[in-house]
Amino acid sequence: MGLFTTVAVAIACLSIGWATRPWLDATLGASSPAGVPNTNSTASVNNSTNSTSLPPALVNATVNLNHNALLCVHNTTRTKRKKRDLEMNSTLPFALVADLDRNSNRMKPHEWEWFSYLKVGQILWDGHQFDVQWIKKLDIVSSFNTRNRSMELSELTWWNGAYLAVCDYTGVLLKIRPTTGEAFPRFVLADGDGKTGRTLKGEWMTVYDGQLFIGGHGKEWTQDGKIVGRGAEWVKVIHPTGLIRSIHWINEYTAMRRATGTEFPGYLSHEAAVWNWYAQKWVFLPRKASKEPYDDLLDEHRGTNLLILCSEDFGNITVLTVGPLEPEWGFSSVALVPGSNGKYLIATKVHEVGDDHRTKLTIFDMEGRIMLTPEEFVEVENVKYEGVEFLGEHENW
């Protein structure tokens, strides 16, 4: 193939890809990621708590898409975002993906197959509060694996014309087709600075300036109280063209630890994060928080209810709370509610103590006020769901 033909094919592929993602207002000249935080940043703390209970909410329902509301949420850059109001009686479908850990292997003879669950629900808005209904649940299946493990999905995000999920064991970023449960490997991400044979333990994803950011727990790895690795303090940034960069985020993570009083030997562990374009803030809901050194068993009881709001450069940080502090529960994923102009967010919270795995879900505003009714948290099921994303007009989901 000649040079002219090669260039022509490349341009055609880019053009086709661009046309198939109508609400990604990214440009090839997207700006660089967040800058270095001000090390003198301060934090304001709100220690308010709310009561909670956990009733079943497994209600069969039909899907009623509100396309006008859905159009406003998915990943545009700061240059062309249009604000839309969440309409009365809006019905917004969303999906959860599960991390089944070692149980993702079907363990069937001669069937090299690993799976996760995709659970579809919808939220209903009455103008004052939200309600949640469940629609269906299906398997997501793949034969790709590393050392007999795979499909341990820890996040789900719409970006660049596809729903993408990351496996926190293999480091593989997969395209997910919610209608069929099909999964297609797209990227394999290396840990740390990218110059290692270890794969990324990806825990959170969000879109910033049209680029996909994928991060891990955001803390050092320790053994017997000593630091043995810092790969989880790096973030992967994927450009719409497919270019992958590794960004050292130790300053950003350190700024949040200072604001929450969890500096080393304490720790702050992240699995839920989103860039709120409307508010121009990074939103983090940590999974675990402790002022004491890391311990495998004690870590199961160090869940948190923190809501951390950071300015774009992490120079100004506010620490709030969402719901009560429940030591055995921690946040695993968060997403912006379509049509709310960045005011409301949906988040999953998981319980993982030994073999007891459970998930519940809530909706709250940027001040930490829970907006669900009649209960503040909705029980999902006895499975660990670690990714949440809203479904729209994409790929006829």
> Considering the chain, what percentage of its residues have pLDDT values greater than 70?
77
Domains located in the chain, CATH noted: 43-392 (2.120.10.100)
Predicted TM-score (pTM) of the model is: 0.80
In three-state form (DSSP H/G/I as H, E/B as E, the rest C), the secondary structure along the chain is CCHHHHHHHHHHHHHHHHHCCCCCCCCCCCCCCCCCCCCCCCEEECCCCCCCCCCECCCCCCCCCCHHHHCCCCCCCCCCCCCCCCCCCEEEEEEEEECCHHHHECCCCCCCCEEEEEEEEEEEECCCCEEEEEEEEEEEEECCCECCECCCEEEEEEECCEEEEEECCCCEEEEEECCCCEEEEEEECECCCCCCCCECCCCEEEEECCEEEEECCCCCEEECCEEEECHHHEEEEECCCCCEEEEECHHHHHHHHHHHCCCCCCEEEEEEEEEECCCCEEEEEEEEEECCCCCHHHHCCCECCEEEEEECCCCCEEEEECCCCCCCEEEEEEEECCCCCCCEEEEEEEEEECCEEEEEEEEEECCCCECECCCCCEEEECCCEEEEEECCCHHHC
pLDDT band for position 75 (cuts 50, 70, 90): very low
52 pLDDT above the threshold of 60:
no
pLDDT digits (tens, 9 = 90+) for 106-157: 776 567 889 999 999 999 999 889 999 999 999 999 988 888 899 999 999 9
pLDDT band for position 23 (cuts 50, 70, 90): very low
pLDDT band for position 19 (cuts 50, 70, 90): very low
pLDDT digits (tens, 9 = 90+) for 320-360: 999 999 999 999 999 999 999 999 999 999 999 999 999 99
